[in-house]
Structure 1
């Protein structure tokens, strides 16, 4: 990188370790809730503070930069993206500016930009009342309501008809979704496009097929997505136009699309790696680690990226359990011995509470498999997940929790730049 010293906001232990192994001089900032003593081995300095406290992190970054300048501000953590953009602009460093990152972080801003540029127009509006929701559905038909910021399908709900508006508004009120955006419901196959950018040039690293089981939370992925050559070319060109419109200049992006009858439409896009083990799928099929690409983002100044030929296909499948208190988990060891299985992780243990599936965090684990082709990979992943048995019993605490409570659990706020957001979200 240009300047080996980087300010890294958040990051799992593996990502911080990769940064050090890439030869970077790492100054890491971790929230107190995420501190792990093992991080110290891979950092020049480690500061424990809330990087979503913008005045505090800005003062720290300024002081450290004066003593020994940073070459970049780095993150792959959703909660830190817009703060990293702010610091990049504030310290006048190379990288994606706060305006670029903010456009991607705020789904309303992205939708407004794409509609203005004629890049797959989608009707939408902001709202804060039942009347706003009712008016939109009356005008545009089936819709999706959601927060304007966030990830993992948190606070997302389909409203399929006028008859569902009352229940949807009651749900939103109980969730604490007092302000929302609502947009027309897009129908078609769902995919995500994983890209690497350098010097404003974008390279598609992989196109991932998605399965939501008819809901809003993703329950499975496959790489590569089963697209025709023409569809793949159309998607590649479209996403490049989207990222150009946003102004993304470097690093990774994860752009979610729906392939409608009228062409691809953006659901959302992020200036980070995709979640849900997508990096693992890319590594198995394309032989590259996207996190390492992000850390080496400025080493390929001409914007080119040479990728190995694909090897087969990979799929992830997520474990879903009935809401309740977990009494037993069986079958994981059996799954690990199955053909093609690369990774098995169980997130719950006896005594844990499983909530209704309303967010990615409500899933109970995952399986990743590698196979000769996409159809086989998907089949093996489904079969493997079916072997794992999470048994629950009814429990009064196994209910959907308000949005603010869920964010408090993961120590995040949606918008660190919104006045009073720390009070309103956590209340």
Structure 2
């Protein structure tokens, strides 16, 4: 066992099966995470807790481990740990990995925008500021509305669409008062102010191996106040629009230097054509990998692992698709109040694969302000000739989800505020 190869799993994001499928491929798992729950510690071969924000220490630790255990690959799907994983792979001299430069190009939204603009790939109006006062100058040259967001956070945290100068100032001030992102990393001083792009939003799930990018699926996305509400695979696009999006994503990944990685690229289809919103050098969140797997047969997490262990696209693992459409719907609260819904009614609809929630009927909740405090989700598969969206519509009607200020749980009138099911 001393020479049995191992994979270094950094900042595991999903559930325990992420460890299990690595072990199923015949590798031992060295798990590095800031906190490791007991169930992970039991399954991983070498669970090691340390502060992943201390990146130099983590790289040093990985080098020490490699002297005792042969490390074949570094694997992570955690947005906050993409750069760390790349640095470790480079320090270990591994062959198949995303470069730290490309990882940083994708991780820093400021660097992403600067790189794309420099290469004239999907250029848009934007500015990088470091104080709210600079908003005055920016908005003298940029039309409202604008998007204000931090450069190195994730999950739509502190990302705001601003319709007035006052809103833009407040959004920038909020970011500036924060010193850390969601996982405790120092926030970059850069604050992005970008023109607001009109049009439907999509994400492109792809992989790049030895410089060749393969588009696996395009996901249609719906958002409310920039919080992601639902995703649908495949996106209902014309062949022409699909081709334009394909071409743009390949160009973006090329100039950013992304290679040996699965990518999740967010795009809006504006009246002037597709525009890049963000590029993430990892598997998309929000259970998108499950939708893609159901429709295409490709498990994006396993594909990412296949790539960093030297696999080709031709030899990538692929299962038989189980449906022609798949959708996820998130449950959101548009106000603080009491949750009212019938979970069992949603579960009874044929084609509903899963209903997950952190709340029960009657629970008191606060308003959903980012992807991090949504209340749960439903996953639907197309079945018996019915599209997944129709299945989801039936489930939403059956469960009758709403938030009410009234503790007695009376059914709201048509004018009451409802959200989370669209």
Match in the other structure for 2:370: 359
Structure 1 residue 137, shift from structure 2 partner: 2.2
Distance in 2, Cα, partners of 1:305 & 1:317? 33
1:200-247: CA deviations, max 9, x gaps? 22111110001114x211111111111011211221122111111111
Distance in 2, Cα, partners of 1:194 & 1:374? 25
Match of 2:328 among 316, 323, 329: 316
Contact 1:317 1:366 in 2 (8 A): yes
Aligned CA distance change for structure 1 residues 20 and 139 (closer, same or farther; 3 Å): same
Distance in 1, Cα, partners of 2:335 & 2:45? 44
Structure 2 SS opposite 1:149: coil
2:185 maps to 1:184: no
Q: Which of the pair is proportionally richer in helix?
A: 1
Distance in 2, Cα, partners of 1:158 & 1:152? 15
Computed over aligned residues only, the root mean square deviation of the Cα atoms, in angstroms, reads: 2.6
2:396 maps to 1:385: yes
2:173 maps to 1:170: no
Contact 1:366 1:385 in 2 (8 A): no
Distance in 2, Cα, partners of 1:174 & 1:246? 29
Instruction: Please give the residue correspondences for 1:375-414 in structure 2 after superposition, counting only pairs within 5 Å.
Output: 376-386=387-397, 387-389=399-401, 391=403, 393=405
Distance in 1, Cα, partners of 2:323 & 2:363? 38
Distance in 2, Cα, partners of 1:78 & 1:299? 20
Match in the other structure for 1:101: 103
Contact 1:85 1:96 in 2 (8 A): yes
Structure 1 residue 375, shift from structure 2 partner: 8.8
Contact 1:312 1:373 in 2 (8 A): no
Contact 2:133 2:169 in 1 (8 A): no
Distance in 1, Cα, partners of 2:390 & 2:134? 43
Match of 2:314 among 286, 304, 312: 304
Match in the other structure for 2:83: 82
Q: How high is the TM-score relative to the length of structure 2?
A: 0.84
Structure 1 residue 46, shift from structure 2 partner: 0.6
Aligned CA distance change for structure 1 residues 63 and 347 (closer, same or farther; 3 Å): same
Contact 2:341 2:361 in 1 (8 A): no
2:122 maps to 1:111: no
Distance in 1, Cα, partners of 2:34 & 2:141? 44
Match of 1:338 among 338, 345, 349: 349
Match in the other structure for 1:153: 156
- Unpaired segments ≥5 residues, structure 1: 396-427
Match in the other structure for 2:11: 10
1:328-369: CA deviations, max 9, x gaps? 554111111102101110122479663333210121111110
Match in the other structure for 2:382: 371
Higher relative CO (Cα under 8 Å, sequence separation at least 6) belongs to 1
Match in the other structure for 2:185: none
Instruction: Please give the residue correspondences for 1:27-66 in structure 2 after superposition, counting only pairs within 5 Å.
Output: 27-32=30-35, 35-66=36-67
Aligned CA distance change for structure 1 residues 382 and 74 (closer, same or farther; 3 Å): same
1:163-213: CA deviations, max 9, x gaps? x11133234434635751101111111000001222222111110001114
Q: How high is the TM-score relative to the length of structure 1?
A: 0.83
Contact 2:73 2:309 in 1 (8 A): no
Match in the other structure for 1:20: 23
Distance in 2, Cα, partners of 1:331 & 1:64? 50
Structure 2 SS opposite 1:139: coil
- Unpaired segments ≥5 residues, structure 2: 179-188, 408-422
